[in-house]
Amino acid sequence: MACDCTGALHFQAVLTSAAQPIPGFPLALYAIGDIQGCHAEFCELLTLIGFSKTDDRLWLTGDLVNRGPDSLAVLREVRALGDAAQTVLGNHDLHLLTVAAGHAGAHRDDTLAPILAAPDRDELLDWLASKPLAIIEDGMLMVHAGVLPQWSAGRVVELAHEVEATLGSAAREDLLRVLYGDEPRAWRDDLEGFDRQRAIVNALTRLRFCTTDGRMEFREKRSAAYAPAGFAPWFAHPSRRSASSLLICGHWSTLGLLLAPNVLMLDSGCLWGGALTAIRLPDRRVFQVPSREPVAPMPRG
């Protein structure tokens, strides 16, 4: 079943009772939405779910950093979890790498300065740059933002690997230097070089609205009700080739928490005064903690 754009599949709940084990599942996998420097809420959420570094696993939807109050502590916390936590790269994580490399200036509302001044800065940046853009396992695919309709889950991972290989090589600086930009706006299999890699990054870390043939729209950041003419939310296209997989994403805070049979959108706007959300797989129980230090009111839409 594909999601529609009506909002009927949106779900908000704050479950504050501690997690209990699932009979028959000794290891729990939790997916957590965008943290964005909200370290206190992240720690509270780990306590709420009773997370065990030895017995449980975390999937994080990216955007570990920026705009929240303690991005440095979030990076250190997640890195210390080792193999128990896996994260994909989000657009704010890539922004940090680009600013740190000197290829872009910080934005007015960035909160990256403590990371850039930290004594373990280089270790943290190298660790972050080593993270994937997509993770696939047991019919589940996690990316930060979304996937284009013509990409199957397997194709997403193949394309993500192309960018990951560059970020892990001596060409990382060259990619970060030219990473920003909206072009090319439409995917073509014959794209080459950094244009190809920029299109992949934009789809996986910035996508909200697109056309069936993979043309992307980046200006509109409000909810699905504000889809520009000719565009639809990436998950609403009935011909989407990834629909047979469970897609786990964040990024779209104005959409709110959206839970559907084959799409879990987990950015519930902790940064803006909403909540930080975890969902336990496979039973899909939701756990949330409220925002402690919203940086601004929740964006409208």
User: What is the distance in angstroms between the CA of the first residue and the CA of the last residue of the chain?
Assistant: 25
* Separation CA 78–CA 141 (nearest Å): 20
**Beta partners for residue 59, in sequence order:** 31, 86
Under DSSP, is residue 278 helix (H, G, I), strand (E, B) or coil? strand
Q: What is the DSSP letter of 18?
A: P
Q: Tally the residues of the chain.
A: 301
> Cβ(103)–Cβ(177) under 8 Å?
yes
60: closest CA among 21, 95, 89, 40? 89
Residue 69: cis peptide before it, omega within 30 degrees of 0: no
Burial of 180 (0-12, 13-18, 19+ CB in 10 A): middle
> Cβ(271)–Cβ(36) under 8 Å?
yes
- Give average pLDDT by consecutive 10-residue segment, the chain, 301 residues: 31 47 67 98 97 96 97 98 98 98 94 98 98 97 98 98 97 97 97 98 98 96 95 96 97 95 96 96 94 81 56
Residue 58's H or E segment, with its range, is strand 56-60
Helix, strand, coil: what percent of the chain each, to 5? 30, 20, 50
CATH (residue range 28-233+245-290): 3.60.21.10
Per-residue pLDDT, 296: 78
Please give the C-alpha separations between residue 97 and each of 69, 93, 115, 178, 197, in angstroms, as whole numbers: 18, 7, 11, 12, 16
> Residue 173 is encoded by which pair of tokens?
């600086």
The one-letter code for the residue type at 137 is E
260: closest CA among 56, 2, 29? 2
Q: What are phi and psi of 84, to 5 degrees?
A: -70, -20
Helices (H), the chain: 39-48, 71-80, 91-100, 113-116, 121-129, 153-167, 172-177, 193-206
* Separation CA 182–CA 201 (nearest Å): 10
Per-residue pLDDT, 12: 38
Angle at CA of residue 146, ends 161 and 275, nearest 5°: 120
Give Rg (Cα) of the chain: 18
**Which position has the token pair 């409208």?**
300
* Separation CA 82–CA 193 (nearest Å): 33
